[in-house]
């Protein structure tokens, strides 16, 4: 149940990420106003790779691509709950949840490449306007 609540929050924020610009960061940030987020680096096991592949292809796997864009996120969240098997993938989702827009897409795309995926459709979906 905790996973479903987390995934629903993830999905809701994913939809909102395209609508609102990232909030301004404090001037004390050492990277010119950018917020640095430390993402977990899980060992690349077959199970973790499978979970990241599921995450990257969730729009198609869940059939959300058959729905209007503004109705996809709840479908995706409900699909991910029972299909993400590893705690490491869950931790990754929790870590990227506060990110918005391009930062979130880039984090997922980078993780996909790290586990050996050539592309990540969910990252591309996050880059498209609603």
The DSSP-derived string for 17-47 is HTTSPPPPPPTT-TTTTPPP---------HH
Q: Please state the domain extents for the chain.
A: 2-19+43-127
C-alpha distances out from residue 44 to 39, 63, 72, 76, Å: 14, 27, 29, 24
Which tens digits make up the pLDDT trace of 29-74?
334 445 556 677 888 999 999 999 999 999 999 999 999 988 998 9
Measured in whole angstroms, how far is the alpha carbon of residue 68 from the centre of its chain? 19
Please name the residue that has the structure tokens 């959300």: 64
Q: Is the pTM of this model over 0.85?
A: no
Contact between 99 and 110 under an 8 Å Cβ cutoff? The reply is: no
């Amino acid at each position: 149940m905790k996973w479903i609540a987390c995934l629903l929050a993830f999905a809701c924020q994913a939809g909102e990420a395209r609508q609102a610009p990232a909030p301004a960061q404090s001037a004390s940030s050492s990277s010119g106003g950018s917020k640095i987020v430390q993402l977990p680096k899980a060992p690349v096991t077959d199970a973790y790779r499978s979970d990241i592949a599921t995450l990257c292809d969730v729009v198609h796997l869940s059939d959300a691509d058959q729905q209007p864009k503004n109705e996809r996120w709840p479908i995706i969240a409900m699909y991910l709950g029972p299909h993400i098997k590893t705690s490491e993938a869950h931790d990754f989702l929790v870590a990227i949840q506060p990110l918005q827009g391009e930062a979130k897409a880039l984090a997922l795309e980078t993780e996909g490449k790290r586990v050996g995926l050539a592309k990540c459709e969910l990252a591309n979906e996050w880059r498209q306007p609603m």
